[in-house]
Amino acid sequence: AAPIIGTSREEQLDELLNAVDITLKPEQIAELETPYKPHPVVGFK
């Protein structure tokens, strides 16, 4: 799956296209691949 990217300014398009060149370190990839653990819900009932 790929996100649908929309922009209304050329500067935004440049920023979005440059985001494709990001390289993650192995530690960052490992952190992103760990399962999400939901936090308990707090607040009003």
- Domain extent listing, the chain: 1-33
Residue 45 pLDDT: 67
Residue 39 pLDDT: 87
Digit-by-digit pLDDT tens for the chain (45 residues) are 666 667 888 888 888 888 888 899 999 999 999 998 888 888 876
- What is the distance between the alpha carbons of residues 22 and 11, in angstroms, rounded to a whole number? 18
Residue 28 pLDDT: 95
Question: What residue type is assigned to position 24 of the chain?
Answer: L
- What is the distance between the alpha carbons of residues 21 and 23, in angstroms, rounded to a whole number? 6
